[in-house]
A and B are shown apart, each in its own frame.
Chain A
Amino acid sequence: MASHKRWMVSRRALLTGAGIAMGLPYLEQMMPVARGASTASPLRFLAFYCPNGMIADAWKPTGTGTTYTFNRTMEPLAPVKDDLLVIGGVGKQGGCFKGATGHDVGTGGMLTGGYGTVADGKLDPGTVTIDQTIAGVIGKDTKLHSIQTQVFDTHAFSRLHEHISWSGDNTPLANEQDPKALFDRLFAGYAPTNDAAAQAAAAKLKRLEGSVLDFVSADATELKGRLGRSDNLKLDEYLSGVRDLERQLQDQGAPSNVACSPVAPAATKDPQQTVKSMLDVIVLALQCDATRVATFMIENGLGDYVFDFLGVSGGHHSASHHNGDATLKEYCRVIERWEMEQFSYLLQKMKAVKEPDGSSLLDNSLVFMTSDVGDGMGHTAYDLPMIIAGKAQGAVTTGRHVTTISKDMYGFDCSVVPIGNLFISILQTFGVAAGTVGKYSTGPFSLKA
């Protein structure tokens, strides 16, 4: 395995580290990995998922451009309003589209330009979700290639309900639901570079555990020569997991940046605190450059969590099929506003993290928030609720509300911009030149004013 090149390795850490002498070959260790030879901060990508759509009368902002005002649901985002690009009107398809979708394909296919199929629980053939395409570019040298997280799990039934991140059309990536377990994956074996004893212990662990990984890799390689094509795809999934373990083992060194001091989240059974702890660990992972790509699901698709701490009775999905019932509809609005409070908490934390070059973590990120459907009652797949947060190092002009919603010949709302267009532009931001994303995209969607 190639030695790790780490962003944010301070000169002092190198000089005082475990026997590492300052010399020309090591200069490259102080250079950012994914962004060429400059000291600029790396770009990060996050996806933030809220199930069951948003009640439009509380979601939709008033006005467009830079002078728009929030409605009730987005009010908690006021502290980061200048960092948002609120997008209305985008649908799964364009061409004055006003179709519906299920929570399964809406969720599983959220980060794709297509849907996936209900019958076999797969994405459209050949599809990789955009977070994974991005991780393929910017996740190569971090401790974890990407992380997938979720908080509330009400056990839906299709694998499409359960996952928004897929490394292949038949390979959903499981969500970590325990903030402490995620922390351990990111920071276990933490060995400060100036602690020789810890470094020696880490080196020994690497040798011993490395023999386990060598054994199982050899087993997989031996099998690959004897199995058929589809079996080998299954083994590839296995091997990519083992490679992640190898990277974690190799990368026991501490993030040297003084701003990054990993502290494990306190154990909690409180649901609201669990959400905050998970978001805290995600921010820590990005701040420490342990990963640059993360996904977060508040609930799984078809999420029917009972938000009793908000004074709501009955499940979220059940309420979303309110049939016009005023109480149930209000439950949805209360839950949705709370979701935006969590989103705001994440963004404010990211904004507060200062990178070595003085910019904020949020400035160096593109955070994409949406839902599986537009309106939960009708399962609409057009006019999806959508926000991009963070300037992505200037690729996104924030502080705006744009909407592209159109009307059909009868005067009903329809979407003319397919979500694939947005994804073309997001991928471009991360250096991926994609001409199309999914079968409905028609061209890039400008993220700049």
Chain B
Amino acid sequence: MGDIGNLDGVSGADDMPGSPETTGIPGGGAPSTNPNEVTSCATRPDPGNVLIRRLTHGEYDNTVRDLLGDTSAPGQKFPTEGNATTGFDNEAAALSVSPLLISNYSDTAKALVETLMASDKKKLVVTCDLATQGMTCAQTSINALARRAFRRPVTDSEQQRLTGVMQAAVTQGESVETGFKLALRAVLLSPKFLYRIEVDADPGSAVAHAVSPHELATRLSYFLWSTTPDEALLQAADAGTLSTPDAVGQQVTRMLADAKAHGFIEGFAGQWLGLRNLATAARDATKFPGFDVATRTSMQSETELFFKSFLDESKDVHDLLTAKYTYADARLAKLYGVTGAPASGFAKINLGSAPRMGLLTQASFLTITSKNNGTSPVKRGKWVLGQLLCSEPPPPPPGVPPLPQEAVPTGSVRQKFLQHRTGATCAGCHSQMDPIGFAFESYDAVGSFRTKDDNGFAVDATGQLPTGEKFSTALELETLVSQEPGFPGCLTQRLFEYAVGRAQNPEDQCALEGALGAAEKQGTTLPALVTALAQSTPFTQRRGEP
């Protein structure tokens, strides 16, 4: 996934990571139609091996919210992490643990437990009286909590060891409550809580097998809610009724309708569409006065609400780029020159004849792909290729000189960027990126429509894709991208990476094709695509690591 904030408009060396498996021509990210791969998949499906997955900081926050009723979001103070291959923060291989994080987990567990036991939320975890019922109450309570924290039935051995922690405190003259607190801290510091553990009967075997019902419940829950399974999921897993495709489909429908599906919108769309990057986007205050936290929050909310409408209304994913409506508050309505926004909050707005349509004319995209002091056609073009078509160009070779800077511009940004295309070194990639970026020159670095570019010259938004298709505005370009076969394929790949927590392998192509094919039979709606992925082999099965 592209490294949005990381692109320099000019050379930038390998700050522009290209992942080898996604490098290619536009549309190259669509699942392959290699018949051999399809055949081998049908005969010997390989679901791949997923590592144990440490909770992301956001998942940790949501999980303690649901387990303990604690909404303090302690994970926001955990150490900053960076992304690896997929660009999603839930990628198993990149979720490492350092001594500082373990120290943070330990301190946080202690604080969470002290806060819980001193508040009326205590009854969420302790449903009896520790003072009068003593160890019996403590055991009942800790075993029930451990089941929810470990997302599966607790073993006898675990129950005994939890009792052991509590008994040891009592033996040393402490109260049962003190012992219970220590056991609760032990649960919250356990790897069985901090990681999503999946076990193979034979960890060294490459033979595919279904994940256990509780593992499946956990996968569904963190995919669609970014949090721990609820009681309905756990009970379905307990009863062994979760694992059929129909049952999975019903759960997906139920879960997407739940308020906790915001976890999916924030987690998936927030990263796929770069919305999380808005929080740290900065703009030159003299050129863009009023670009403040509230503005950035509005931009984020707009795209989240827009994405949500595709889930709620089962809309065709192609329309993500062509829908003639958006969600705007008064601030955004003013930016877009449209009417109908309420005095406070957001409303669905018909864009009418405004030069806006779909995701790529929303202020969020236009802002996160710009620089502090102006637009970057290269960033915008690269973003569209990488995020929407899964065909991000490779980084420029070392030693590429920057474009010369002029104190007083003698031509438009577009004219200056033509130098990218004069030498063979640059032209290979820039002939793909730049024309797409030029289409958006009609929008400044915070998303306002304009007719003059950063250099003060008239905007020319016309262009031609490497495939020969022509466009004269950003809206026409959006229509062309929405019709690329690679677009729904790329969205499928991004959803897949987010769902399974690993980069796509060649072995996954038939599963991706199958999921997209199944969704296409239902109008390629976003819920259909999500459902098909949740029913796919890589999501419902796993294997060991030979």
Per-residue B-contact encoding for A137-181, CB less than 8 Å = 1, 0 else: 000000011001000011111111111000100111111110000
Q: Are B545 and A228 in contact (CB under 8 A)?
A: yes
A211 at the interface (CB under 8 A from B): yes
Are A314 and B402 also in contact (CB < 8 A) when A145-B99, A208-B174 are?
no
22 A–B pairs (Cβ distance < 8 Å), ordered by A: A100-B13, A118-B14, A118-B17, A155-B5, A157-B87, A160-B82, A163-B82, A172-B96, A173-B99, A174-B81, A185-B100, A208-B174, A215-B165, A219-B158, A228-B200, A230-B545, A231-B203, A231-B545, A240-B99, A300-B80, A318-B373, A378-B399
Q: Are A216 and B103 in contact (CB under 8 A)?
A: no
Are A231 and B51 also in contact (CB < 8 A) when A104-B14, A119-B19, A379-B15 are?
yes
Residue of B nearest to A185 (CB): B103
CA distance A40 to B183 in the complex (A): 44
**Contact residues of A between 218 and 239, Cβ < 8 Å to B:** 218-220, 222-223, 226-231, 234-235, 237-238
A405 at the interface (CB under 8 A from B): no
CA distance A379 to B10 in the complex (A): 12
CA distance A157 to B19 in the complex (A): 15
B544 at the interface (CB under 8 A from A): yes
B182 at the interface (CB under 8 A from A): yes
B339 at the interface (CB under 8 A from A): no
Per-residue A-contact encoding for B160-191, CB less than 8 Å = 1, 0 else: 01101100110010100010001101100111
B405 at the interface (CB under 8 A from A): yes
Question: What chain A residues lie within 8 Å of B66 (beta carbons)?
Answer: none
CA distance A162 to B101 in the complex (A): 14
Interface size (A, Cβ < 8 Å)? Answer: 84
Question: What chain B residues lie within 8 Å of A245 (beta carbons)?
Answer: 102-103, 106
Q: Which 9 A-B pairs have the closest CB atoms?
A: A241-B102, A174-B79, A159-B82, A121-B84, A323-B405, A102-B14, A100-B398, A228-B203, A118-B17
Q: Are B82 and A237 in contact (CB under 8 A)?
A: no
Are A241 and B99 also in contact (CB < 8 A) when A119-B17, A154-B280 are?
yes
Q: Are A212 and B17 in contact (CB under 8 A)?
A: no
CA distance A323 to B374 in the complex (A): 15
Q: Are B84 and A158 in contact (CB under 8 A)?
A: yes
Are A244 and B192 also in contact (CB < 8 A) when A228-B545, A238-B97, A323-B405 are?
no
Q: Are B103 and A211 in contact (CB under 8 A)?
A: no
Q: Are A237 and B15 in contact (CB under 8 A)?
A: no
A439 at the interface (CB under 8 A from B): no
Are A121 and B85 also in contact (CB < 8 A) when A156-B5, A226-B199, A379-B15 are?
yes
Q: Are A103 and B51 in contact (CB under 8 A)?
A: no
Interface size (B, Cβ < 8 Å)? Answer: 84
Q: Of A100, A212, A227, which contacts B186 at CB under 8 A?
A: A212
Q: Are B14 and A216 in contact (CB under 8 A)?
A: no
Q: Are A204 and B172 in contact (CB under 8 A)?
A: yes
CB distance from B108 to the nearest CB of A (A): 12
Q: Are B161 and A218 in contact (CB under 8 A)?
A: yes
B43 at the interface (CB under 8 A from A): no
Per-residue B-contact encoding for A169-205, CB less than 8 Å = 1, 0 else: 0111111110000000100000000000000000010
Question: What chain A residues lie within 8 Å of B199 (beta carbons)?
Answer: 226-227
Q: Are A237 and B97 in contact (CB under 8 A)?
A: yes
Residue of B nearest to A212 (CB): B186
Question: What chain B residues lie within 8 Å of A223 (beta carbons)?
Answer: 191-192, 197
Question: What chain B residues lie within 8 Å of A185 (beta carbons)?
Answer: 100, 103
Per-residue A-contact encoding for B396-410, CB less than 8 Å = 1, 0 else: 001101111100000
**Contact residues of A between 94 and 127, Cβ < 8 Å to B:** 98-105, 118-122
**Contact residues of B between 263 and 295, Cβ < 8 Å to A:** 280, 282, 284-285
CB distance from A203 to the nearest CB of B (A): 11
Q: Of B84, B165, B204, B405, which contacts A325 at CB under 8 A?
A: B405
**Contact residues of A between 336 and 354, Cβ < 8 Å to B:** none
Q: Are B98 and A173 in contact (CB under 8 A)?
A: yes
CB distance from B228 to the nearest CB of A (A): 18
Tell me whether chain B's interface is mostly helix, strand or loop, or mixed. loop
**Contact residues of A between 243 and 265, Cβ < 8 Å to B:** 244-245, 248
Are A216 and B94 also in contact (CB < 8 A) when A159-B83, A321-B402 are?
no
CA distance A177 to B8 in the complex (A): 27
Question: What chain A residues lie within 8 Å of B402 (beta carbons)?
Answer: 321, 323, 377-378
Question: What chain A residues lie within 8 Å of B102 (beta carbons)?
Answer: 238, 241-242, 244-245
Question: What chain B residues lie within 8 Å of A321 (beta carbons)?
Answer: 8, 10, 12, 402
CA distance A51 to B92 in the complex (A): 28
Question: What chain B residues lie within 8 Å of A122 (beta carbons)?
Answer: 84
Q: Are B97 and A241 in contact (CB under 8 A)?
A: yes
Question: What chain A residues lie within 8 Å of B85 (beta carbons)?
Answer: 119-121
Known: A102-B17, A104-B14, A244-B102. 4 other contacts (CB 8 A): A119-B17, A156-B6, A228-B544, A302-B6
**Contact residues of A between 306 and 326, Cβ < 8 Å to B:** 306, 313-315, 318, 321, 323-325
A383 at the interface (CB under 8 A from B): no
Residue of A nearest to B9 (CB): A321
B54 at the interface (CB under 8 A from A): yes
CB distance from A41 to the nearest CB of B (A): 25
A4 at the interface (CB under 8 A from B): no
Question: What chain B residues lie within 8 Å of A173 (beta carbons)?
Answer: 98-100
Q: Of A100, A159, A226, A244, which contacts B99 at CB under 8 A?
A: A244
CB distance from A103 to the nearest CB of B (A): 6
- Chain B CB within 10 Å, residue with most, of A173, A208, A222, A304: A208
Question: What chain B residues lie within 8 Å of A162 (beta carbons)?
Answer: 80-82
**Contact residues of B between 490 and 546, Cβ < 8 Å to A:** 544-545
B3 at the interface (CB under 8 A from A): yes
- Chain B CB within 10 Å, residue with most, of A105, A216, A304: A216
Residue of A nearest to B105 (CB): A241
Question: What chain A residues lie within 8 Å of B20 (beta carbons)?
Answer: 119
Q: Are B399 and A304 in contact (CB under 8 A)?
A: no
Q: Are A228 and B49 in contact (CB under 8 A)?
A: yes
CA distance A321 to B11 in the complex (A): 10
A35 at the interface (CB under 8 A from B): no
Q: Of A157, A163, A306, which contacts B6 at CB under 8 A?
A: A157
Are A318 and B84 also in contact (CB < 8 A) when A215-B161, A238-B97 are?
no
**Contact residues of B between 1 and 32, Cβ < 8 Å to A:** 3-6, 8, 10-20
Are A121 and B82 also in contact (CB < 8 A) when A208-B172, A212-B189, A226-B203 are?
yes
Q: Of A170, A204, A216, which contacts B190 at CB under 8 A?
A: A216
CB distance from B445 to the nearest CB of A (A): 13
CB distance from B350 to the nearest CB of A (A): 36
CA distance A115 to B192 in the complex (A): 34
Question: What chain A residues lie within 8 Å of B356 (beta carbons)?
Answer: none
Are A100 and B399 also in contact (CB < 8 A) when A122-B84, A212-B182, A216-B190 are?
yes
Per-residue A-contact encoding for B59-75, CB less than 8 Å = 1, 0 else: 00000000000000000
Q: Of B3, B182, B192, B194, which contacts A208 at CB under 8 A?
A: B182
B479 at the interface (CB under 8 A from A): no
A407 at the interface (CB under 8 A from B): no
A11 at the interface (CB under 8 A from B): no
B52 at the interface (CB under 8 A from A): yes
- Chain A CB within 10 Å, residue with most, of B6, B185, B199: B6
Residue of A nearest to B283 (CB): A314
Question: What chain A residues lie within 8 Å of B96 (beta carbons)?
Answer: 170-172, 234, 237
B455 at the interface (CB under 8 A from A): no
Q: Are B197 and A102 in contact (CB under 8 A)?
A: no
Residue of B nearest to A104 (CB): B15
Residue of A nearest to B82 (CB): A159
Question: What chain A residues lie within 8 Å of B12 (beta carbons)?
Answer: 102, 321, 379
Q: Are A238 and B3 in contact (CB under 8 A)?
A: no
CB distance from A186 to the nearest CB of B (A): 11
Q: Are B100 and A174 in contact (CB under 8 A)?
A: yes
- Chain A CB within 10 Å, residue with most, of B83, B162, B403: B83
CA distance A22 to B280 in the complex (A): 59
Q: Of B6, B13, B19, which contacts A379 at CB under 8 A?
A: B13
Question: What chain B residues lie within 8 Å of A213 (beta carbons)?
Answer: 189
Question: What chain A residues lie within 8 Å of B95 (beta carbons)?
Answer: 234
